[in-house]
Structure 1
Amino acid sequence: MSRPVLLAVDDDGPVLAAVERDLRARYAEHYRVLTASSGGQALDLLRRLRLREEPVALLLVDQRMPGTCGVELLSASRPLHPEARRVLLTAYADTEAAIAAINDAGVQHYLRKPWHPPEERLYPVLDDLLRTWRRPAPVAGLRLLGDRWSPATHALRQFLGRNLVPYRWMDVEADCAARQLLVVAGADAGSLPVLLLDDGEVLTRPEPAEVAGRIGLPARAQRTAYDLVVAGAGPAGLAAGVRGASEGLSTLLLECNAPGGQAGATSRIANYLGVPAGLSGADLTVRAREQAIRLGAEVLVPAEAVGLRRADPYTVVRLADGDEVSASTLVIASGVTYRTLDVPGVDALSGQGVYYGAGRAEAVDHAGGAVYVVGGGNAAGQAAIFLGQVAASVTLLVRGSELAGTMSRYLIDRLEAAETVSVEYDTEVVGAVGTGRLAGLRLRSGGTAEREVDADAVFVFIGQAPRTGWLEGVVRRDERGFVLTGADLGSPPPDWPLDVPPLPLETSVPRVFAAGDVRRGSTKRIASAVAEGAMAVSLAHERLAGR
């Protein structure tokens, strides 16, 4: 495949030449640098690149151009090259337009002119964006054959997508080529999903652990004992892994599904400090995972912690495959799962139009459809805005009479401005309708009689349950299952074996800490989870030093 394209667009000849010069100086070895002197010329080039299936990694576009301005060009480029990173070049007076472009045109960053020296003001920004860009999956390579309405197929697509594994999705119901490949592979509809590997091997109905082993995702620990084991690789776990590895601790991160946790599936994080353009949960995860590994941490996926025991002064974690790893210190960052919607018809349609969380695969499957989002928190608001970019209509169903008490103001403002999104208050789902796939929902609003609406999909965000069953009998939890830490354990804590009280974030077991959503009293925000993950490692050092 040809080198990915970096496209610079500016109607000012000397400026365009300077941009081209700086891009070539840094990126010519791995990317093809192209230029255009107008928005129309750029769009024509982007269309031709799309027809030739040539990947575009980045667009660097000037705002002030006659005819088609930078924001308009970047917005028009999204259907042609949706994965491309988008940067707007602006003058100081265009700052408001640049900020608006973050919401309207999918801009990841804006740069003010002049950008010199590029080593300080241009290259760090572009390097960071290009690290998170993924080349589209090649036509030949990993191919997944399945039925879009199959829960098993949906689970495997989620696993591959969340772990950023490039693959080609082929729906046997809609794609004749997929059905032909199924016959060639010697499989049938009862074998779905079928995964065709690069070397021609065929996996039928594979579990994620089997897939991970075949495609090179590390799922077995290299050692039996570590200074630091982190259970969970969401924001808190990744922060703990980065901090531990950076300080020279032998560090192991265990993740049962995909790095990033629930945050990894978030379409856009707009309130994270230092990222004014916002970023997706996947982008944040890529950065953090790469950082942890580069510093020396091991990250195992899928590797689920299923049990815990003490072998003083160590803690031993039992994994789902039967292996055990010993930890001098343990950070519990196993996070939470969305609570299921307990109404008639929903369980049978999970993965068949009923989803918990909203990923890219689900959004693509329901492009142009009528979808519903259930919940009133930030996750529900982010999902509604994300789905509104592809669905014909998105209806947010809220049990309460307002959003102000449960959702950030910036999300409420964006919901009100979104043309394809509407909100229904005092409304709850009382049933789901469909056989083999979701066809409709039964709703009740404000005590009125039930009504049925057509629905292609429903995405549920109605509260969280902690992943802490594996701690049973070892680590104290509250009545809802959240881990008790620090002062919440009592003064003095029952059965506490040390002469000094538990440290903040320390659990009922010395040298075992909890961070992020899994901990009682946590803020349930990405920034606070990151802070707790890093803080847990600092406190672990303090405990190991005997303080």
Structure 2
Amino acid sequence: MAQAADAARTVIMTVDDDPGVSRAVARDLRRRYGASYRIVRAESGESALDALRELKLRGDLVAVILADYRMPQMNGIEFLEQALDVYPGARRVLLTAYADTNAAIDAINVVDLDHYLLKPWDPPEEKLYPVLDDLLQAWRSSDYRPVPSTKVVGHRWSARSSDVREFLARNQVPYRWYSSDEPEGRRLLAAAGEDGMRLPVVVTPDGTPLVEPEAVDLAARVGLATTPTADFYDLVVIGGGPAGLGAAVYGASEGLRTVLVERSATGGQAGQSSRIENYLGFPDGVSGAQLTDRARRQAAKFGAEILTAREVTALEVNGAARIVRFSDGSAVAAHSVILATGVSYRQLSAPGCEDLTGCGVFYGSALTEAPSCQGQDVYIVGGANSAGQAAMYLSRGAKSVTLLVRGPSLSASMSHYLIQQIEESPNIRVRARTVVEEAHGDGHLERLTLREVDTGETEEVDAQWVFVFIGAAPLTDWLDGTVLRDERGFILAGPDLTADGRPPEGWELDRPPYHLETNVPGVFVAGDARSESAKRVASAVGEGAMAVMLVHRYLEQS
């Protein structure tokens, strides 16, 4: 807690226009911090600013400000921006009714947001107090100065700039974005000794400039773990999507020394979803980023290590050990391995798409690009749930959203609830039996040529934004020669290996493979990478948990 001399003059402020919510926040804050801090609450941005100015005149300190995002007249971001001028050292927290990634990114860029919390925050012992404890500790240790943030200087149509922003956002690393065309961006480039020809330039919190950084270097410099702390584990989980995170949570919570290895960012395709509405226990929906963040913190709570930006290139068997090799030549060993590598979106083969990837053509939702789509005509290629969720999210600000679907309708691949929402959205249009024939643009996407599948007729449309969700390709080529896969590359396991009643070739145990076990004993598969899997978040999480149960069975009999 704060020093005794500061106790009477240090404030935690909460701002919410809903009186009931405002009182509830203040009540929970007083219960934990009332003995050491003054809790000040306000029910509008204007009254809160008046209170801050009065506190400033009296010489009081403000440690943390919690502001609701959806307030009338002055929303939370606008209020925090003005509060920054009065108390630049106060830690800033945005309260949101939903996991609003767009609002959070805006707040990070505008007001150096330190954290955002979902309402309701019950129980506060798990969802509110740990966050506030960390922010108060940071406030005290920084002598009341703002925490330095990561800065990214890039160009709107730079593919690598887009990749870096997406990497930081998906890994929950706060950053500020500066265009290389703007004065502050040019100032940062000059300070880094760069002329803007090589972008992006990332300036780390300690002031170190990184020019066109690779993911592993960037991860290490912004505080993400990239190196295992041990050489041998009970369990290595490869892939940080729902299946991998589920396996890490259950493995670590049940006492297994567990390390999860992720090549990019935890969450997988689900982590890029703007809103998942059919996941058990979230009747109002949850964003993929919020679900991922909770799962990641849960795994870490139980002691699982999570390594980011580490690409696995080989799996080897050495007696009872399973060796996982990384792209840099290093390796880690374990008694068992769970393959939860997930899938990636297939690439559009139409001419021009490859050259414009990251410059108007994006694979997945690329939520960091959503603010730039305001008032624009947006095209989405695909007809499954991921495409539908992206359409609903982007339709909030886009002028129009057009879904391009190869099939005759959405009903074959999209959940009924999403189809209903799309039908009720006035600015979403579905064009069935239509594909992208070609993408055009000089440096960035400017036009698309669309083709009607049945008639062959083509049409050219103006377009600056297209998001692609066209099926899934498993990330399993590196397993060639070790783990059996089907003709599409998905991993075979359990009954699929013994369809003819005989164990797979080379199987030396006197039992058949367990349900999720591959042809390599002690190596299991979970989630979308498994042949004939359900391709749903809930089933992936369930398979991750089931795989851990089978790991225990394997270890007991080894």
After TM superposition, the score normalised by the length of structure 1 is 0.83
One-letter amino acid matched to 1:520: S
Distance across 1 between alignment mates of 2:544 and 2:45: 45
Distance across 2 between alignment mates of 1:128 and 1:278: 24
Is residue 123 of structure 1 aligned with residue 145 of structure 2? Answer: no
Report the counterpart of residue 309 of structure 2 in structure 1: 302
Distance across 2 between alignment mates of 1:3 and 1:220: 40
Distance across 2 between alignment mates of 1:149 and 1:510: 47
- Between 176-185 and 247-256, the greater mean CA deviation after superposition: 176-185
Deviations 1:267-296 (A, max 9, x none): 111111111221111111111111111111
Q: Shift of the alpha carbon at 1:191?
A: 2.2
Structure 2 counterpart SS, 1:347: coil
Report the counterpart of residue 98 of structure 1 in structure 2: none
Distance across 2 between alignment mates of 1:149 and 1:30: 47
Distance across 1 between alignment mates of 2:50 and 2:485: 58
Size of the aligned set, in residue pairs, is: 499
Report the counterpart of residue 148 of structure 1 in structure 2: 156
Distance across 2 between alignment mates of 1:23 and 1:222: 37
Structure 2 counterpart SS, 1:318: strand
Say if 1:108 and 1:277, in contact at 8 Å, map to a contact too: no
Q: Structure 2 vs 1, CA of residues 17 and 139 (structure 1 numbering), >3 Å: closer, same or farther?
A: closer
Say if 2:15 and 2:45, in contact at 8 Å, map to a contact too: no
Distance across 2 between alignment mates of 1:50 and 1:387: 36
Report the counterpart of residue 24 of structure 1 in structure 2: 30
Structure 2 counterpart SS, 1:543: helix
Q: Shift of the alpha carbon at 1:46?
A: 7.8
Structure 1 counterpart SS, 2:205: coil
Structure 1 counterpart SS, 2:368: helix
Distance across 2 between alignment mates of 1:240 and 1:427: 39
Report the counterpart of residue 493 of structure 2 in structure 1: 485
Q: 1:280 aligns with which of 274, 278, 287?
A: 287
Distance across 2 between alignment mates of 1:439 and 1:162: 27
One-letter amino acid matched to 2:176: R
Q: Shift of the alpha carbon at 1:31?
A: 9.9
Distance across 2 between alignment mates of 1:375 and 1:487: 32
Report the counterpart of residue 540 of structure 1 in structure 2: 551
Give identity over the alignment, percent.
Answer: 44
Report the counterpart of residue 85 of structure 1 in structure 2: 95
Q: Shift of the alpha carbon at 1:263?
A: 1.0
Is residue 459 of structure 1 aligned with residue 467 of structure 2? Answer: yes
Distance across 1 between alignment mates of 2:439 and 2:200: 25
Aligned runs of 1:327-406 on 2, under 5 Å?
Answer: 327-406=334-413
Q: 1:509 aligns with which of 520, 526, 537?
A: 520
Report the counterpart of residue 118 of structure 1 in structure 2: none
Q: 2:325 aligns with which of 292, 299, 318?
A: 318
Q: Structure 2 vs 1, CA of residues 224 and 268 (structure 1 numbering), >3 Å: closer, same or farther?
A: same
Structure 1 counterpart SS, 2:128: helix
Is residue 246 of structure 1 aligned with residue 253 of structure 2? Answer: yes
Deviations 1:435-490 (A, max 9, x none): 10000111123425211111111000000000101111000000100000001012
Is residue 59 of structure 1 aligned with residue 99 of structure 2? Answer: no
Deviations 1:275-322 (A, max 9, x none): 122111111111111111111111001111111111021110101121
Say if 1:144 and 1:168, in contact at 8 Å, map to a contact too: yes
Distance across 1 between alignment mates of 2:19 and 2:261: 50
Distance across 2 between alignment mates of 1:480 and 1:79: 47
Q: Shift of the alpha carbon at 1:141?
A: 2.7
Report the counterpart of residue 220 of structure 1 in structure 2: 227
Structure 2 counterpart SS, 1:348: coil
Distance across 1 between alignment mates of 2:52 and 2:432: 42
One-letter amino acid matched to 1:455: A
Report the counterpart of residue 496 of structure 1 in structure 2: 507
Q: Structure 2 vs 1, CA of residues 282 and 398 (structure 1 numbering), >3 Å: closer, same or farther?
A: same
One-letter amino acid matched to 2:154: G
- Between 441-450 and 285-294, the greater mean CA deviation after superposition: 441-450
Report the counterpart of residue 233 of structure 1 in structure 2: 240
Q: Structure 2 vs 1, CA of residues 31 and 164 (structure 1 numbering), >3 Å: closer, same or farther?
A: farther
One-letter amino acid matched to 2:461: V
Say if 1:382 and 1:411, in contact at 8 Å, map to a contact too: yes
Say if 2:16 and 2:71, in contact at 8 Å, map to a contact too: no
Say if 1:6 and 1:31, in contact at 8 Å, map to a contact too: no
Say if 1:195 and 1:203, in contact at 8 Å, map to a contact too: yes
Structure 1 counterpart SS, 2:355: helix
Say if 1:440 and 1:454, in contact at 8 Å, map to a contact too: yes
Q: 1:166 aligns with which of 151, 168, 174?
A: 174
Is residue 188 of structure 1 aligned with residue 230 of structure 2? Answer: no
Distance across 1 between alignment mates of 2:219 and 2:158: 21
After TM superposition, the score normalised by the length of structure 2 is 0.82
Deviations 1:72-118 (A, max 9, x none): 85798477589833359xxxxxxxxxxxxxxxxxx96569xxxxxxx
Q: Structure 2 vs 1, CA of residues 75 and 455 (structure 1 numbering), >3 Å: closer, same or farther?
A: farther
Structure 2 counterpart SS, 1:85: strand
Distance across 2 between alignment mates of 1:323 and 1:84: 41
Report the counterpart of residue 437 of structure 2 in structure 1: 430
Q: 2:542 aligns with which of 514, 531, 542?
A: 531
- Between 355-364 and 327-336, the greater mean CA deviation after superposition: 355-364
Distance across 2 between alignment mates of 1:347 and 1:426: 23
Is residue 469 of structure 1 aligned with residue 470 of structure 2? Answer: no
Q: Which runs of 5+ in 2 are unaligned?
A: 1-9, 57-62, 81-92, 99-116, 139-145
Say if 2:22 and 2:41, in contact at 8 Å, map to a contact too: no
Report the counterpart of residue 177 of structure 1 in structure 2: 184
Distance across 2 between alignment mates of 1:411 and 1:75: 32
Say if 1:58 and 1:130, in contact at 8 Å, map to a contact too: no
Deviations 1:316-371 (A, max 9, x none): 01011211111100000011000001101100000000000113211123222211
Is residue 7 of structure 1 aligned with residue 15 of structure 2? Answer: yes
Q: Structure 2 vs 1, CA of residues 528 and 76 (structure 1 numbering), >3 Å: closer, same or farther?
A: farther
Say if 2:513 and 2:521, in contact at 8 Å, map to a contact too: yes
Q: Shift of the alpha carbon at 1:425?
A: 1.6
Q: Structure 2 vs 1, CA of residues 162 and 488 (structure 1 numbering), >3 Å: closer, same or farther?
A: same
Structure 1 counterpart SS, 2:278: coil
Distance across 1 between alignment mates of 2:41 and 2:526: 46
Q: Shift of the alpha carbon at 1:410?
A: 1.4
Q: Shift of the alpha carbon at 1:156?
A: 1.2
One-letter amino acid matched to 1:390: G
One-letter amino acid matched to 2:124: Y
Structure 1 counterpart SS, 2:419: helix
Say if 2:42 and 2:48, in contact at 8 Å, map to a contact too: no
Provide the alpha-carbon RMSD of the alignment: 3.4
